[in-house]
């Protein structure tokens, strides 16, 4: 009989654009300008716009006051947020959600995005009071395209199907010029 060994721990899934270390004061100031308020709970910049400003930030699972905050990736780019709001107003979320009920492959990819989101968040701090809550309605609903686009930008193409779809629909217009960060 061979000796028992501890199983290898699961590797921590890390978003490809996620910067190491805390954000600089200049990045926090840029995010404050983008949001029109002081940012809360930012751990890192997860994606930068072509002009170099933060476009997506990674936030702590709990805000500094202890409030659970399940939105791990938060979109800060005002140009992109505005266009995504237009997609939402045009009813894209209803269309996407309706497809979940009829497309098992899409539903499986969306569930995988949810599970990855949970794994990334739980690697920072599990939310015992909200263990299966991610953001944006995952894995059964589509509630916020801003969250899905932030996840797609932070995690890379192919991770969040609805974030990828929204970005494809928007095209590359937002990737040029300064986002006024």
Q: What digits encode the pLDDT tens for the residues 117-153? A: 999 998 999 887 777 778 899 999 999 999 999 999 9
Distance separating alpha carbons of residues 44 and 54, to the nearest angstrom? 9
Percent of the chain with pLDDT over 70: 86
Q: 181, 125, 114, 122: which is closest to 151 by C-alpha?
A: 114
Angle 88-178-45 (CA atoms, 0-180°, nearest 5)?
Answer: 75
pLDDT at 28: 96
| 10 within a domain of the structure (yes/no) | no
For CA atoms 86, 75, 121, 70, give the dihedral sign: negative
* Per-residue confidence band for 39, with pLDDT thresholds at 50, 70 and 90: very high
**pTM for this one?**
0.87
Region 53-69 average pLDDT: 93
Region 163-178 average pLDDT: 82
| 61 within a domain of the structure (yes/no) | yes
| 18 within a domain of the structure (yes/no) | no
Whether residue 13 is predicted with pLDDT greater than 90 in this model: the reply is no
Q: 92, 96, 137: which is closest to 117 by C-alpha?
A: 137
Distance separating alpha carbons of residues 181 and 56, to the nearest angstrom? 12
3-state SS of 136-178 is CCCCCCCCCHHHHHHHHHHHCCCCCHHHHHHHHHHCCHHHCCC
Residue 41: domain span: 25-175
pLDDT at 110: 96
| 6 within a domain of the structure (yes/no) | no
- Domain count for the chain: 1
| 12 within a domain of the structure (yes/no) | no
Average pLDDT, the chain: 87
pLDDT at 8: 46
Region 75-87 average pLDDT: 93
pLDDT at 128: 78
| 150 within a domain of the structure (yes/no) | yes
* Per-residue confidence band for 171, with pLDDT thresholds at 50, 70 and 90: confident
| 120 within a domain of the structure (yes/no) | yes
Whether residue 70 is predicted with pLDDT greater than 90 in this model: the reply is no
| 115 within a domain of the structure (yes/no) | yes
Distance separating alpha carbons of residues 144 and 138, to the nearest angstrom? 10
Distance separating alpha carbons of residues 30 and 98, to the nearest angstrom? 37
pLDDT at 45: 96
Q: 78, 62, 49, 71: which is closest to 117 by C-alpha?
A: 71
């Amino acid at each position: 009989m061979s000796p028992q060994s501890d199983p290898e721990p699961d590797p921590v899934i890390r978003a490809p654009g996620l910067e190491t270390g805390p954000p600089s004061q200049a990045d926090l100031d840029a995010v404050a300008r983008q949001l029109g308020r002081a940012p809360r709970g930012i751990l890192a910049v997860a994606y930068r716009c072509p002009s170099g400003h933060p476009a997506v930030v990674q936030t702590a699972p709990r805000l500094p006051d202890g409030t659970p905050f399940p939105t791990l990736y938060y979109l800060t780019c005002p140009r992109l947020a505005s266009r995504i709001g237009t997609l939402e107003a045009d009813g894209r979320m209803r269309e996407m959600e309706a497809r979940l009920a009829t497309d098992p492959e899409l539903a499986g990819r969306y569930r995988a995005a949810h599970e990855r989101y949970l794994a990334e968040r739980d690697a920072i701090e599990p939310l015992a009071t909200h263990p299966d809550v991610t953001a944006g309605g995952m894995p059964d609903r589509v509630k916020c395209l801003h969250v899905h686009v932030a996840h797609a930008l932070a995690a890379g193409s192919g991770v969040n199907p609805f974030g990828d779809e929204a970005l494809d629909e928007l095209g590359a217009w937002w990737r040029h010029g300064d986002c006024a960060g």
